[in-house]
Amino acid sequence: MKKTFKIINLECAHCAAKMEHAIRKLDGVSHVSISFLLQKATIEADDTRFDEIAAKAADICKKIEPDCLFTER
């Protein structure tokens, strides 16, 4: 399944890169791309575990940039 998420308040480009790298390492994720410019993330992952993966991705973002919000589009 492929879904796009909005990352509100993403102000640090380096953080975006770190988030992308960390999410890519999650089990079940086949493709992830975060755009600092558009403030959005596209994640392609296992259908069955997608919600779980999305929640983990949100956690990662919170950890790296506490100000920002990871939401569904």
Least distance from another protein to the Cβ atom of residue 23, Å: 13
Stated as kind and residue range, the H or E segment containing 33 is strand 29-35
Q: Residue 13 interacts with another protein (CB under 8 A)?
A: yes
Residue 15 has φ and ψ, to the nearest 5°, of -60, -40
Give min distance, CB of 49 to another protein, in A: 21
Dist CA 68 CA 45 (whole Å): 22
Question: Of 47 and 66, which has the nearer Cβ to another protein?
Answer: 66
What is the rounded CA–CA span in Å between residue 60 and residue 20?
Answer: 9
By the rule CB under 8 A, 36 interacts with another protein: yes
Alpha-helical runs (H) found in the chain? 13-24, 50-64
Please report whether residue 71 would count as binding another protein according to CB under 8 A: no
Q: Which residues bind another protein (CB under 8 A)?
A: 11-17, 20-21, 31, 33, 35-38, 40, 42, 63-64, 66
